[in-house]
Amino acid sequence: MKASKFSDAQKAFIIKQGEDGTPVAEVCRQAGISQATYFNWKQKYAGMMPSEMRRMRELEHENARRSRSACECRAVSWSATTARWRSARSRCAMARSRPISSTMAGARISPSQPTSRRRDPEVGPTSTSSSFQLIQRSCLGRSMDPSHLIDRENPQVRPTPTFGTVPALFAEMVREPRKPGLRSLFDGHAVTLRCREGCTKQSVTNCYLAFGRCLSKFRAFSMEGSVAEIHPTAIVCKGAEIGSNTSVGPYTCIGPNVKIGKDCRIGSHVVIEGFTTLGDGNQVYQFASVGAAPQDRKWKGEATSLQIGNNNVIREYVTIQPGLEQFGGVTRIGDENLLMACSHVAHDVLMGDRNWLTNSAALGGHVIVGSRAIFGGLSGVHQFCRIGDNAFISAGSMVAQDVPPYCLVQGDRARLRSINRTGLQRAGYSSDEINTLHKVFRTLFVSGKPLKERFSDVESKFPETPQIKTLIEFIRSSERGIVGYVSGGDDQS
């Protein structure tokens, strides 16, 4: 292709002149180009900066290179298939012209032998899978008996071949419609690689590399045997592990030490870095930052980790950070948590299951959260605080001390208001259990007696249930102290 004498910046300037209202004829006269050239540039590069134009041209060259590679693979495979088919046809012709031997003359055809001629699926020119298997054999550089690939009695059954003691990957062409944002190695098809049980990771990698680097931009393989769908513009560093049936959206960056489970959905423009582990079934929405360096001056680049469980929902602009080495180096989030937009989970946070962080809620470093706690919008929790099970932090509350289980707090600074009656009902507690907790709450926090006498009253008046035991142990083990009770709260009965 003849190189253009105009640079990308000059093309952008010429297009910009036409968009600003200058007549096209005048623009073309000054630039010395034809109007057809101008409109071709405008159709191709309108609204682009010079850097974007250069990137688009690089992508076009890359796509053209991959198309040529695919065409060469198809040409090699079909030429080999045609040669095998012609060889088989010539053998059949020779067999028909050969006289019947004495042993065959008296032979009786058993009912299990077919009497009609049928096309051999191994050598038939319409067998797409066999042509792809030829590519597999040529890429792996190993000879393979075709009978291992296709069962003559049942062409649909294709057992996995083995090379000695090393299991081999079985590749097949799967017809499926094109998916938005994905390209396949063959037009109209997607390539699926499945491996047997016991297949080593090295053999998976070798086969993967054998089918060409072009596939690495679109698909990532997992040890479960199926594939993870990765958008061509996503950046997945070498060493990252992505589970089966996991999708990665456009312009997402995944670091080399990241492990993502199966059935996850990673949106566009997401950054997952550091030593981060995500379980199965997680959803990470666009622009989330997961595993970035903690916002603490004590962090000096240590290899600390972030561990996220299963079935969590991480919405837009959420930030989650790993721990510090001085405090264990782990930030841990349980299962089925909902982190709404712009919420923040700082370093060394330990969070249980089924918690809700509403929009812009923030947890400081070293915060410990139980299960089924709800944080209202714009609420904040001070470092080293503890939040008990089924607690409710009202919107805008600033929590500076520990919040007991089953309680509702509100205000700046947050103060106890009542028992979290609605949250306990949703969690499945009975009316008797809720009423008992309500009475214990008033005994512990409303009466003006010394703390030891309140504990004695609770132990003498109420039966020892798991909820009461959890509440008392939480209060006794508090190091920062319990948030105070404000008179005139909602709990007046």
- Residue 241 φ/ψ, nearest 5 degrees: -115, 125
DSSP 306: E
| Catalytic residue selected from 8, 348, 389, 402 | 348
DSSP string, 224-287: TSSEEEE-TT-EE-TT-EE-TT-EE-TT-EE-TT-EE-SS-EE-TT-EE-SEEEE-SS-EE-TT
| Catalytic residue selected from 255, 274, 365, 380 | 365
Question: Nearest to residue 339, comparing CAs of 320, 321, 357, 365?
Answer: 357
Residue 102: exposure state from Cβ atoms within 10 A (0-12, 13-18, ≥19): exposed
- On whether the CB atoms of residues 426 and 420 are closer than 8 A, the answer is no
User: What is the helix (H) or strand (E) element at residue 486, kind and residue range?
Assistant: none
274 is catalytic: no
Residues 6 or more apart whose CB falls under 8 angstroms from that of 350 comprise 331, 332, 367, 368, 369
- On whether the CB atoms of residues 210 and 139 are closer than 8 A, the answer is yes
| Catalytic residue selected from 274, 329, 344, 347 | 347
Q: How far, in Å, CA of 74 to CA of 365, rounded?
A: 57
Which spans in 98-192 are helix H? 102-105, 128-140
348 is catalytic: yes
148 is catalytic: no
Amino acid present at 97: S
Which spans in 98-167 are helix H? 102-105, 128-140
Q: Which residues are catalytic?
A: 347-348, 365
